[in-house]
Structure 1
């Protein structure tokens, strides 16, 4: 299968899984919906062959990452605030790209060494995006990411107020959904191109800022 063919198939499987999880197939009998969802979810990591030999939930790490210092997080926080005015709306959230500090840290030896220790050699994709969900109703429906974020290092910079509505949900194949609640400074490292995930909608007064770094495992574009 060529890279283009694999990407097209991944897109179709992602659309199928996302639509089923979002309730767009209610006219289909329940058992058939469940079978179709299971087939789509199990097929997504298999598109990568032996590169996902121990694929379970798709989560590599969740918590306070050893690859970021307090100073790293502080400068990311400041830069994300400065770049909010440059962010452009992408579907139902805002994205700012091209920030120099974020890009520099995405290429840092500390991050690359940690990822290599967990999943084997990786290639940075030079994708480092600040993400903003700071208006009511922002979020992302169930989907999988493109190859640029095959392996996603997603770090929370701010989530306010203390009582929060929006959350990140992962739907690993054959398992219960994972509800991820990151505190500021915590990171989720996961195979975002292989496990369906979503961010539920924000409510009035809620604001979220994150930074997302993209990587490929060696051979994932083959």
Structure 2
């Protein structure tokens, strides 16, 4: 079993290594660490002794935020905000709800969920002054990616395995528009902050989660029969960090 000191030393070595890498090389390293963490969290490494799995998961989880310094140090769980965001009006939430319904027929399957991009209302709201002001005040300078996607989980078995997002989609505003289910078992969003218990979110319609999607492993558990979820996701890139 790797000791705590050895795991900590590995985290520091990976962090130091990342300072000498290009952006593309750092992205590849982050992808490999994400895949390693996701494999352990998804149960795909049962052949490895449990103590070694825990050490490996801890090392990868702690390493991911260190590959991208800056504002993340203020948010050890990766969560910037959770609740009914002051950056969206009720009218904007209603407009997003209407547009997401109208976009469902053209949504395309991406892995284990459906995505509709290029929706004008979502794009314009993602670029709004209140959102940019809120994010800038919370985490510092940001650059909109102009990526505003509607996400649909409305068939049994849809979800997303543990992963982290690319650097260009480093900060995510995820807003629930609808979550219908007929039983007690429901899909949930789970974040896996380093060194902490998993954080489970059951967003209510109109609630948002703002988090660093590029440095904290996250997943959506699988939907069950008679369950349907509609979300809108706004992506931003943080600026001014040590490696950015």
TM-score of Structure 1 vs Structure 2, range by shorter chain: over 0.9
Task: Tell me which residue corresponds to 2:176.
Answer: 156
1:156, 1:211 within 8 Å by CA — same for their partners in 2? yes
1:55 counterpart (72, 75, 78): 75
The answer (yes or no) to whether the contact 1:45–1:55 under 8 Å persists in 2 is no
- Say if 2:122 is the partner of 1:80: no
- 1:80 and 1:209 in contact (8 A); partners too: yes
Q: What is the aligned length? A: 222
Distance in 2, Cα, partners of 1:159 & 1:178: 19
**What corresponds to 2:91 in structure 1?**
71
Residue 64 of structure 1 deviates from its aligned partner by 0.1
Counterpart for residue 183 of structure 1 = 204
* CA distance, structure 2, for counterparts of residue 140 and residue 198 of structure 1: 5
Q: Write the mapping of 1:1-222 to structure 2, written as runs, cut at 5 A.
A: 1-161=21-181, 163=183, 164-219=185-240, 222=244
Distance 2:224 2:70 in 1: 41
Shift of 1:121: 1.3
Matches of 2:88 and 2:182, distance apart in 1? 24
Structure 1 outlier segments of 4+, above 6 Å: none
Residue 156 of structure 1 deviates from its aligned partner by 0.1
Give the alignment's TM-score, normalised by structure 1: 0.97
Shift of 1:146: 1.4
Root-mean-square deviation (Å): 1.2
SS at match of 1:42: helix
* Structure 2, gaps ≥5 residues long: 1-20
Deviation, structure 1 residue 162: 5.9
Deviation at residue 70 of structure 1 after TM alignment: 0.4
Give ranges in structure 1 of 5+ residues lacking alignment: none
Contact 2:83 2:209 in 1 (8 A): yes
CA distance in 1 between counterparts of 2:182 and 2:63 reads: 38
**8 A Cα contact 1:63 1:188, kept in partner:** yes
Give TM-score, length-normalised by structure 2. 0.89
Structure 2 CA distance for aligned equivalents of residues 5 and 74 of structure 1: 41
